[in-house]
Amino acid sequence: MQTLANFGDGGGPGPWILLFPVIWLLVIGGGITLLRRTVWRGRRGGPGQRPTVGNDSPIAVLGRRFASGDIDEDEYWRRLSVLNEEFGHKGGAG
């Protein structure tokens, strides 16, 4: 049987040829991981990311008031929609 270019009689590379695609996948995966942890980490506003909210922003204060029970859910959503219009955020609190 002719497997991996005549491996049995020494005429081909044998199963070692399967190692090179694995090495290339590891190199490419390592490069992408390195880029994600360094260069791409500083970029904001990518797909799937919500806008960041500071600890002293009105949205954060509203969230803390809701979490502590000062306001109910209806009032929270009503005020959040007003704040989102004012600050230009889309979606929920971030």
User: Token match 């497997």: residue?
Assistant: 3
Pick the closest to residue 79 from 68, 66, 88, 67 (CA basis).
Answer: 66
pTM above 0.75, yes or no: no
pLDDT at residue 57, rounded to an integer: 82
pLDDT at residue 83, rounded to an integer: 86
Residue pair 94/51 in contact by the 8 Å Cβ criterion: yes
Residue 94: band (very low, low, confident or very high) from pLDDT cuts 50, 70, 90: very low
Helix, strand, coil percent content, the chain, rounded in steps of 5? 55, 0, 45
pLDDT, tens digit (0-9, with 9 covering 90-100), for 60-70: 888 899 999 99
Per-residue tokens: 42: 């500083």
Per-residue tokens: 12: 């081909």
What type of residue is 83?
L
pLDDT, tens digit (0-9, with 9 covering 90-100), for 8-58: 566 667 777 888 899 999 999 999 999 888 887 666 555 555 555 567 788
Residue pair 15/6 in contact by the 8 Å Cβ criterion: no
Residue 4: band (very low, low, confident or very high) from pLDDT cuts 50, 70, 90: low
